[in-house]
Structure 1
């Protein structure tokens, strides 16, 4: 697997990252270990998790299952020095029995209203909990998981900078955040001498958000332009294949993931995607990942989160899919 510089840090990471959100939850421990082992065998070394994963899977959970599983895997195989390890804080909701209904389904509206946020003490305690579960004295990348508009940025940034100074974190990142906030964050860091974020984790795929989309979590045209002119801020793209909808027309019909994309632009891009995938003798899902891996303005690190070993094995060949200039141009130009 190819390596790529993370922003302008000088640190090399694998060009395809592996998300562990479902590990310790819907994905069994045995299958999780197999996926992690296969990823390392393929040359992968960029692992991503969060302290909230996956509280919503079990009534009464406070999250941390994914970090605990990764900690066991890291210790068992002495893998810690072989991987670039990222985790996140700020998105654990305040505990309430109302977070789940009688059937065990999570109440996401309530959760979003009660995220613990990015206060200084909250982040310090959250990171210490993550380090304990992961069984390490530091993480390589620490994200603010959900941008917290209720806490002064100065408080958050000073605390995060202190975590780097203390040696508990090497680099900082932000996720689910609007472009104007990124610029404000960067200005404050420059003004006060605080450590600035080097990574932005957002939802990003081949389909473009529909007109009128208001999500702070999806890369739009403005944010893409911002990233292209600030190459020191690395884009890490989560949900790059949108839950696998590219391979299955029946699956994407009515799928909630399509709510932010539906429109005439989708049909036009899917048609060209299918043509190019057929030319390459591969799947649309892999072709999307390959297209993202070819991007350099801005550069993109796709973050896959396979639920099963079979899904991982289906996606990993994407690292060897090569798109020529003509195919890239057609994919880029496609649209209503």
Structure 2
């Protein structure tokens, strides 16, 4: 496992991060521990979780299962000093019985309207809860999980800065955020001497979002350009293989992840991807991860979120793929 510098902090982190969203939910304890141990075994260290994971899998509960599982794993194996630990706050929905239907299915529309937000008191309570569940006195990276435009940025940035000054957080990040907000955050941090977020976690993959897609969560050309110009912030790419759709045309057909990625160049990019995958002897999913690892302007740190040990193992060949300049130009 190679490492890259997080922003310009001097801190080296694994070039591929491990997302633990489904651990303690869709992924049971045994498989979760197996994946975590294997990740350490291959030299990985960057673990990503959030306080809301995985509320939608447990009717009546608002998350915390992933953090609790990680806390047990770190305690039982004495792993805390071996990992770069990231968690997030602001996205837990306000409790309502209407968050789940009679069959236990989550009401995402309600959850997106009622997330708790990034007010100072809310974030402080969220961080304390995360530290308790994780069984640690600090996290290495703390994200605002969902950009909260109802709370003044000054309030959010000031309390985040206090977390760093108190030693409870080493570095800050922001997720699901528009480019103009990133620039506003930068200006306020410079003006007030507050700690600048060094990680920007967004949905990013090989396919480009289609024309007219307006999502604060998906990287567009403007955001790529902005992050290329500001290399003190690293792009952490979640859902890099779009639920694994690259390996199967049948899976792509009608898959909800493709809703944002249908455009005039989609077929052409998929064709080049298949061609280069054949040349390199890997699957299209693996090639997408390898391509992201090769990006330099901006640097991209893919975040994988395997549900099973088999899915985890399937991602690993990407770490060994070396793409030629010709192949990178064709994939560009």
TM over 0.5: yes
Q: How far off its partner does 1:202 sit?
A: 0.2
SS of the counterpart of 2:237? strand
Instruction: Report what 2:94 is aligned to.
Output: 94
Within 5 Å, give how 1:233-312 maps onto structure 2.
233-312=233-312
Distance 2:177 2:282 in 1: 34
Residue 252 of structure 1: how far off its partner (Å): 0.9
CA distance in 2, matches of 1:229, 1:264: 27
CA shift digits 1:246-298 (9 cap, x unpaired): 00111111111011111221100000000000011110000000000000000
Aligned to 2:79: 79
**Matched residue, 2:187:** 187
Instruction: State the secondary structure of the residue aligned to 2:265.
Output: helix
For the aligned residue pairs, the C-alpha RMSD in angstroms reads 0.5
Task: Tell me the alpha carbon deviations over residues 161-183 of structure 1, each in whole angstroms, 9 at most, x when there is no partner.
Answer: 00100100000000000000000
Task: Tell me the matched-pair count.
Answer: 332
Range 258-267 or range 32-41, more displaced: 258-267
User: CA separation in 2, counterparts of 1:229 and 1:14?
Assistant: 22
- The answer for the alignment partner of 2:157 in structure 1 is 157
Query: What is the SS of the residue equivalent to 1:171?
Result: strand
Q: Does 1:315 align with 2:310?
A: no
Question: Map of 1:19-98 to 2, 5 A cutoff?
Answer: 19-98=19-98
Shift of 1:317: 1.4
Output one character per residue of 1:29-87: Cα deviation in whole Å (capped at 9) or x when no partner.
00000000001101000000000000000110110000000001111111111110000
C-alpha distance in structure 2 between counterparts of 1:54 and 1:17, whole Å: 18
Q: Which runs of 5+ in 1 are unaligned?
A: none
Q: Could you tell me how far 1:214 is from its partner in structure 2?
A: 0.1
Alignment partners' CA distance in 1, 2:182 and 2:55:
28
Determine the structure 2 residue equivalent to 1:116: 116
Aligned equivalents of 1:132 and 1:140: distance in 2?
Answer: 15
TM-score (norm 2): 0.99
2: CA distance between counterparts of 1:199 and 1:310?
29
Distance 1:321 1:121 in 2: 46
Say which SS state the counterpart of residue 196 (structure 1) adopts. Answer: coil
Regions of 4+ moved over 4 Å: none
1:104 corresponds in structure 2 to 104
1:170 aligns with 170
